[in-house]
Amino acid sequence: MTNKYFGTDGIRGRANVKLTPDLALRVGQSAGVALRRGKHRPRALIGKDTRLSSDIIEGALVAGFTSAGVDAVLLGTIPTPAVAMATRCMGGDLGVMISASHNSYEDNGIKLFNSDGYKLSDELEARIESLLETDITPMLAGAVNLGRVGRIDIQARYVEVAKRTLGRKVRETRADIGIALDGDANRMILVDEKGNVVDGDQVMAVLAESWRDEGRLTKSGIVATIMSNLGLERHLAGLGLGLERTAVGDRYVIERMREGGYNLGGEQSGHLIVADYSTTRDGLVAAIRLLEVVQSLDKPVSDICHRFEPLPQVLRNIRFGSGRPLDNAVVAKVIKEATARLGSGGRLVVRPSGTEPLIRVMGEAEDKELVDSLISDVCDAVAQAA
């Protein structure tokens, strides 16, 4: 079943247009009703990023939770991984992060975590979806059972947790490396001393080889999505390591990691999951782990973080207004023909974005001119059908 509200990373949309205070209120009420168990009073821990709209969404969520008899604990402005950590460590029933990650600042989102700090199950999401479409007024708390609101500062605690992943204090050194985190600090991209961008694929290659040599990989491979470069897969194969691919979205990577017992996975975009230290993607912890390898090898970052030559990869986005362009027969025919022309030496991935009204078209092969041509053909067909 296709969700009306939840995408690959919670609920997301233009603030005060699609993601309105009314919707946030109903999300709080619906999630609160879904959480109730007998006489137990659930607790929802709420964090937010620095977007202008985060305050109004926070207020609406608080009203929703408390009206459903759920206590709301405000964590303030913190990274998404800190919400997951706090929910798990403080015995929360639900973790809530108000953020749209890398989306434009006009957007915002609501991400939900379960009591263990993992993304919600499909079943609980479906339950909340159903309640959002239902008049739940009769299910709300009575006047004497309303939830309460509190506030806790966990920023310092999260910093200490992140630092302890090394097992010792990190000495301040002058490093020739740049580390960029997105708005809620769950995505990390590096820049080496030469100014070259290092994506998530290269970071996973570095950590996988290092952990293999140290006997720290729990499985002989890692988990990534269909967007990771074919060069990464070939490089890992040369090391005797496998690469399991999932659909795009860290929730699918994490699910496969948990099912298969993997402790390293992520996305090319910079979402890294280091399962020994975090239940969700955590840019800060991933950066610390990478710095650990850099320090141990004592080589320039440009040498350490260029483990393989990626195949030429082209990614383009086509915005559409409504409908389902990928169901169009002409589009399907063009995609099939392009896939056939790439053969076994390349890949073509065409998919709808889980967070925006976009069709994402990605192709890769040794022949970049061929990839450019095929991507243009597919994009033209999608644009005409959109």
Residue 328 lies in a domain: yes
* 178 and 288 inside one domain: yes
Residue 5 lies in a domain: no
* 99 and 176 inside one domain: no
Residue 217 lies in a domain: yes
89: tokens are 């460590």
Indicate if the pLDDT at residue 169 is higher than 50: no
Last residue of a domain, one of 155, 180, 215: 155
* 258 and 357 inside one domain: no
Measure the CA–CA gap between 118 and 280, rounded to whole angstroms: 6
Last residue of a domain, one of 117, 136, 155: 155
DSSP 3-state helix, strand, coil percentages of the chain (rounded to 5)? 40, 25, 35
* 142 and 40 inside one domain: yes
Catalytic-labelled residue, pool 101, 210, 228, 269: 101
* 296 and 321 inside one domain: no
Token look-up 């009769």 returns 138
Residue-number span of the structural domain to which 27 is assigned: 11-155
Residues with Cβ within 8 Å of residue 48, at least 6 apart in sequence: 54, 55, 57, 58, 75, 76, 77, 78, 97, 98, 99
Residue 2 lies in a domain: no
* 147 and 205 inside one domain: no
* 144 and 264 inside one domain: no
Going by pLDDT thresholds of 50, 70 and 90, the confidence category of residue 192 is: confident
* 99 and 216 inside one domain: no
Angle, vertex CA 360, rays to CA 358 and CA 363, nearest 5? 165
Residue 75 lies in a domain: yes
* 118 and 210 inside one domain: no
Q: Residue 174: its pLDDT value, please?
A: 52
Residue 71 lies in a domain: yes
Q: What is the mean pLDDT of residues 97-104?
A: 88
Which tens digit of pLDDT belongs to each residue from 209-243? 999 999 999 999 999 999 999 999 999 999 999 99
- pTM for this prediction: 0.61
CATH number, position 96: 3.40.120.10
* 279 and 329 inside one domain: no
Q: Residue 197: its pLDDT value, please?
A: 85
Q: Residue 173: its pLDDT value, please?
A: 47
Which tens digit of pLDDT belongs to each residue from 262-305? 999 999 989 999 999 888 888 888 999 999 999 899 899 999 99
* 39 and 84 inside one domain: yes
Residue 1 lies in a domain: no
Residue 6 lies in a domain: no
- Number of domains, the chain: 3
Going by pLDDT thresholds of 50, 70 and 90, the confidence category of residue 181 is: confident
Count other C-beta atoms under 10 Å from residue 146's C-beta.
16
Does 220 participate in catalysis according to the annotation?
Answer: no
Going by pLDDT thresholds of 50, 70 and 90, the confidence category of residue 166 is: very low
Residue 84 · residue 120 · CB < 8 Å: no
Q: What is the DSSP letter of 142?
A: P
Last residue of a domain, one of 137, 155, 173: 155
Which tens digit of pLDDT belongs to each residue from 279-289? 888 888 899 99
Query: Considering all CA atoms of the chain, what is the largest pairwise distance in Å, rounded to the nearest integer?
Result: 69
CATH number, position 358: 3.30.310.50
Residue 222 · residue 274 · CB < 8 Å: no
* 267 and 334 inside one domain: no
Going by pLDDT thresholds of 50, 70 and 90, the confidence category of residue 162 is: low
46: tokens are 């709420």
